Amino acid sequence: MQLKFLLKFLQKSRKQVFKHPSLIFFNGIIILLFFLLTIYVKGGEPNWRKAQLITQLFADPFTERRPLQSYLTSLSEILWCFSVAICSFSVGLIKQIRPQRQVNRFIVCSALILAILLIDDIFRISLIANSFFGIPKLLMAILYGTAIIAYGLFFRRKIASTPYWLLLVAFGLFVISTLVDCLSLPGMGTPAMLEDGTKLLALVNLAYYFWYVCRHEVLLAKR
């Protein structure tokens, strides 16, 4: 009886897994990454630095000596992820509610821009480009700023029908944060507050804006 139940459970689980090929793909990518890391660490002569790489990749921001390290940075990243996730989820939900309806380009482009900025913020793309390729951080900021302005102009009518002042506040705070980062002001506490503090405040307004807008778009699709 138990064997029959187990076989039935496994068969049902197998069907559920293969109903979601994207899930198999993303899990496969992560497993492949782990496999390549294992080959790198185990391959060749034993090297403690290679083994330490794994620890560094999975390191926690919390340490006993610095218990508050990166807490507000982590909060900023959560807010980034929240905005990207709610836009991405809303696009799929609206498409499922109204399959015949055209994809909401405003939310799609919003999710794309937010995702690019999130990747840059977490993986320090601008910093890497500056350190290894000599690309000024100001140039990267201008590139992102131009893309955001083009996005705003293209969707100006749509944005005008939303609480756009939240976007203006967030954009202004991001400009301040970027300028402080590029200018490399002397000191420690004040520059950190001006750079990362304004960014955190911008992300609070941004997250609320996209929660409000996406909620409205989903409710509108249900009518």
CA 135, CA 1: separation in Å to the nearest integer? 67
Query: Is the CB of residue 196 less than 8 Å from the CB of residue 76?
Result: yes
Residues with Cβ < 8 Å from 80, sequence gap 6 or more?
Answer: 114, 117, 118, 121, 122, 203
Q: Count of CB atoms within 10 A of residue 24's CB?
A: 11
Q: Count of CB atoms within 10 A of residue 141's CB?
A: 18
pLDDT at 182: 80
Query: Is the CB of residue 139 less than 8 Å from the CB of residue 126?
Result: no
pLDDT at 176: 92
Residues with Cβ < 8 Å from 193, sequence gap 6 or more?
Answer: none
Q: If you search the block for the tokens 């799929």, which residue do you land on?
A: 92
Q: Which residue numbers in the chain have pLDDT < 50?
A: none
Give the pLDDT confidence of 208-222 residue by residue, as tens digits: 999 999 999 999 888
CA 23, CA 27: separation in Å to the nearest integer? 6
Q: Count of CB atoms within 10 A of residue 168's CB?
A: 13
pLDDT at 199: 94
pLDDT at 45: 59
pLDDT at 44: 60
pLDDT at 15: 78
Give the pLDDT confidence of 159-201 residue by residue, as tens digits: 999 999 999 999 999 999 988 888 877 777 788 888 899 999 9
Residues with Cβ < 8 Å from 212, sequence gap 6 or more?
Answer: 162, 163
pTM for the predicted model, two decimal places = 0.85
